Amino acid sequence: MPIWGQVTGCECAWCDRGEFRATFLVKADHIVCSNCGRTRSCKPPIMGVVYAECACCGRGEKTSFVVDSEGTYICTNCGRRR
């Protein structure tokens, strides 16, 4: 499956270590962490990245969300959609 691009500086629950942030590769129907291979379903193209609190992660800190072409916010840390 071809790569459509990449999104850098995002959170990934399985491979974040301190100040390290993950890079996600954009595929036809999902994004995939280039470090651990975990995927998040979405509808490319990616319209942007925002940082906000995630109700699922519950850390009280901001995490990264990608905004897909349908305007859905997908948490790159846990995969929750809002």
CA distances from 77 to 1, 8, 16, 25, 43 (A): 23, 13, 9, 14, 17
Residue 82 forms part of a structural domain: no
pLDDT digits (tens, 9 = 90+) for 15-68: 766 667 889 999 999 999 998 999 999 999 999 999 999 988 876 778 899 999
Residue 81 forms part of a structural domain: no
Q: Report the predicted TM-score, pTM, of the whole model to 2 decimal places.
A: 0.86
Residue 80 forms part of a structural domain: no
pLDDT above 60 (res 1): no
Domain span holding position 69: 5-75
Question: In this predicted structure, what is the pLDDT of residue 57?
Answer: 81
Domain count, the chain: 1
Q: Which amino acid does the sequence have at 43?
A: K
Residue written as tokens 């840390």? 77
How many helices (H) and strands (E) are present in the chain, helices listed first? 0, 7
